[in-house]
Amino acid sequence: MNGLANIKTIAKRELGAYFTSPLAYVFIVIFLLLCGFFTFMVGGFFQRGEASLVRPFFDWHPWFYLFLVPAVGMRLWAEERRVGTIELLLTMPITAWQAIVGKFLASWLFLGLALLLTFPVVMTVNYLGSPDNGVILSGYIGSWLMAGAYLAVSCITSAMTRTQVVSFIISVVVCLFLILAGFPPVVNLISSWASPTLVDVVTSFSVITHFEGFQKGILDSRDVLFFLSLIGFSLFTTGVILRGHRAG
């Protein structure tokens, strides 16, 4: 019970830190502007003539998160290391794991809030037609899980360095790999010289491959497990890195 209280305390502290700086508001505004512009202008929502958010809205999320999520996650541990408060944090009566989970949950909830604020898009498609809101809900769940996976990767890179910019760049590179592993042009290129087994192995690491099911309204346990496993592995790795810093 005390462990949960510690996690809650860390999460509240971290969440409060977001909204006491311009970062949260800048992130939310940019994310909402990108969603609106790409859905209705680039995505051709009105030209499609169908009440669906699969292509014009959710298709862009892996690319939005590629830059926006590392921008949120880069400060999680890099800033603590830069100002020297990480030693103080890890000597408090909490475990490193509690601190990691608390900071991650705060950032993940923040990303969830930004995602929820796209509700005008859902209201618009319901006003103009009769969409399958179950499919839309599934897409939102998948999008939030995918954002969590990107964020967990950013936790690793943030724990590795004192510099937020370096953390951001490494996170973008890793997350780009997670996208390109299932990006159709890349998959077609690999298929031209690799065996089907190798292609399946590569695409199994892709967030796009596992996000597609959510976009279609399919809550496949394998896709959910992929994102949760990626989050769990990344947070575990973050813990190993932080323990190394403390031992050093």
Nearest in space to 144 (alpha carbons), one of 230, 233, 211, 63:
211
pLDDT score of 78: 73
- Would you say 56 and 44 are in contact if contact means Cβ atoms under 8 Å apart? yes
- Residue 225: C-alpha distances to residues 92, 149, 162, 217, 219 (Å): 33, 11, 31, 16, 11
Distance CA 188, CA 85 (A): 48
pTM over 0.85: yes
Range of the domain at 95: 2-247
Q: DSSP H helical segments within the chain, as ranges?
A: 2-19, 22-37, 45-48, 61-73, 75-83, 85-91, 96-116, 119-128, 133-160, 164-180, 184-191, 196-203, 207-215, 221-247
Looking at the 3D structure of the chain, how many domains does it have?
A: 1
Kindly list the distances between the CA atom of residue 21 and the CA atoms of 16, 17, 18, 27, in Å, as whole numbers in the listed order. Answer: 9, 7, 6, 11
Tokens of 127: 């006003």
d(CA 65, CA 115): 11
pLDDT string in tens for the chain (248-residue length): 477 888 888 899 888 888 888 878 888 999 999 998 998 888 777 777 777 887 789 999 999 999 999 998 888 877 776 666 666 666 667 788 888 999 999 999 999 999 999 999 999 999 888 888 999 999 999 999 999 999 999 999 998 888 888 899 999 999 999 998 877 788 888 888 878 888 888 888 889 889 999 999 989 999 999 999 999 999 999 989 887 766 55
Please check whether residue 96 is in contact with residue 159, taking contact to mean a CB–CB distance below 8 angstroms.
Answer: no
